[in-house]
Amino acid sequence: MVSYKDAGVDIDAGNSLVEKIKPLVKKTFDKNVVGGIGSFAGAYELPKGYKEPVLLSATDGVGTKLRLAIESKRLDRVGEDLVAMCVNDLICNFATPLFFLDYYATGKLEVSEAEEVISGIANGCIKAQCSLVGGETAEMPSMYSDGDFDLAGFAVGIAEKSELQGKDVKVGDILVALPSSGIHSNGYSLVRKIFKEKIPEKFEENLETLLNPTRIYVEEFLKFKNQISALAHITGGGIVENLPRVLPENFNAKVEKEKIKTPEIFKLLSQFVPEDEMWRTFNMGVGMVLVVSPENLNEILQNSDGYVIGEISSGNGKVEML
């Protein structure tokens, strides 16, 4: 006779993980969560006070930054990256994050490692002010090598229908950069190649910087929601490809590169990557760009770590890097 465990799937380990993460998950709950985890689906009551509520959803992973975390055995913060990549997209459509779910797939479930990852996800949800209402842990020995796993995240938010595209962007509006916490979760295939082939001797001294989790901007969004005309999450493609996503087709964004506060890690990488490729691959120190009318500028600058990097002009929906 052959058991499921003989085939590589340990049901008891999965049950143990659920019990261990229940206290972590409960910390993320707000008053709208109905029930707990362990049911077949997570339940969440819609907040009141919306005239024409629209639900928005976003999904993402953390790319090959996960490989870096696995190889360095540093799994405590990659869950924050997962949450950040989803909720930072939601707020660009003026959606307030409500709840989050995760998918954790592995060849062999190591309960302590999975607990570490999910602890990071819970911390990310607390920072994003959303509830972790469920998830899935899949043990698939024929799909993943020992020690390997993959992550995916799913976030749902709510917005007024009239606010989905933000407010009217106008010529003369100001571009405000909110600093990134580092490389975030894009471009790590290139990053790993550079450190492996060009500067392996610098890997250990930069490991902490490379694993720094993606900054979550929900708090800033909720604080300045009424003063922002639009906002863009700067992920893969950089400023040049993400900022146009919030521009009307007859406007351009003029960005002054010398005003951008670029962290040292990007200066190190730029020794091996052409300048144009750097700007199209990395955030270069800018995690989120806010489009702000001049009358709202001072309030945002005085109450955040944001700073001015350019302005809106007439044009054809593109970014001009000056």
Note the Cα 76 to chain centre separation in Å: 16
Confidence of residue 147 (pLDDT cuts 50, 70, 90): confident
Crossing angle between the packed helical segments 111-128 and 78-90, to the nearest 10 degrees: 30
From CA 94, how far away is CA 96, in angstroms rounded? Answer: 7
**Residue 276 pLDDT exceeds 70:** yes
Confidence of residue 4 (pLDDT cuts 50, 70, 90): low
Structure-model confidence comparison of residues 134 and 216, the more confident one: 216
Considering the chain, what is the average pLDDT of its residues? 93
| CA nearest neighbour of 38 among 124, 110, 132 | 132
Judgement on whether residues 196 and 128 belong to the same structural domain of the protein: no
**Residue 89 pLDDT exceeds 90:** yes
- 170-182: pLDDT as tens digits: 999 999 999 999 9
Q: Which of 131, 163, 195 is the last residue of a domain?
A: 163
Confidence of residue 165 (pLDDT cuts 50, 70, 90): low
Q: Which amino acid is at 43?
A: A
Q: Which of 116, 134, 163 is the last residue of a domain?
A: 163
- 287-311: pLDDT as tens digits: 999 999 999 999 999 999 999 999 9
**Residue 61 pLDDT exceeds 90:** yes
Per the rule left: phi > 0, alpha: psi between -120 and 50, beta: everything else, 298 is alpha
Contacts of 292 (CB under 8 A, 6+ apart): 173, 174, 175, 176, 227, 228, 229, 300
DSSP state of 41: S
Question: Is 229 domain-assigned?
Answer: yes
Judgement on whether residues 19 and 110 belong to the same structural domain of the protein: yes
CATH number for the domain spanning 271: value is 3.90.650.10
**Residue 166 pLDDT exceeds 90:** no
Q: Which amino acid is at 266?
A: F
Q: Which of 132, 163, 194 is the last residue of a domain?
A: 163
Give me the pLDDT at residue 36, please: 75
Other Cβ atoms closer than 10 A to 142: 7
- 230-273: pLDDT as tens digits: 999 999 999 999 999 999 889 999 999 999 999 999 999 999 99
**pLDDT mean over 128-143:** 92
Residue whose tokens read 């002009």: 313
From CA 230, how far away is CA 246, in angstroms rounded? Answer: 6
| SS3 state at 87 | helix
Give me the pLDDT at residue 293, please: 96
Domain boundaries, position 305:
174-321
| CA nearest neighbour of 149 among 81, 85, 83, 67 | 67
Confidence of residue 102 (pLDDT cuts 50, 70, 90): very high
DSSP state of 51: S
DSSP sequence for 235-297: -TTHHHHHGGGGS-TTEEEEE-GGGS---HHHHHHTTSS-HHHHHHHS-TTEEEEEEE-HHHH
Work out how many domains the chain is built from and give that number.
2
- Token readout for 214 is 């993606």
Give me the pLDDT at residue 301, please: 97
Judgement on whether residues 314 and 222 belong to the same structural domain of the protein: yes
Judgement on whether residues 246 and 206 belong to the same structural domain of the protein: yes
Range in 29-38, 187-196, 284-293 with the lowest mean pLDDT? 29-38
| SS3 state at 124 | helix
Give me the pLDDT at residue 6, please: 52
Confidence of residue 11 (pLDDT cuts 50, 70, 90): confident
From CA 90, how far away is CA 233, in angstroms rounded? Answer: 9
Judgement on whether residues 15 and 131 belong to the same structural domain of the protein: yes
Contact indicator for 158, 56 with CB cutoff of 8 Å? yes
Judgement on whether residues 92 and 229 belong to the same structural domain of the protein: no
Per the rule left: phi > 0, alpha: psi between -120 and 50, beta: everything else, 94 is left
- Cα atoms in the 13 Å half-sphere on the side-chain side of 276: 1
Structure-model confidence comparison of residues 32 and 146, the more confident one: 32
Range in 7-21, 80-94, 213-227, 275-289 with the lowest mean pLDDT? 7-21
**Residue 40 pLDDT exceeds 60:** yes
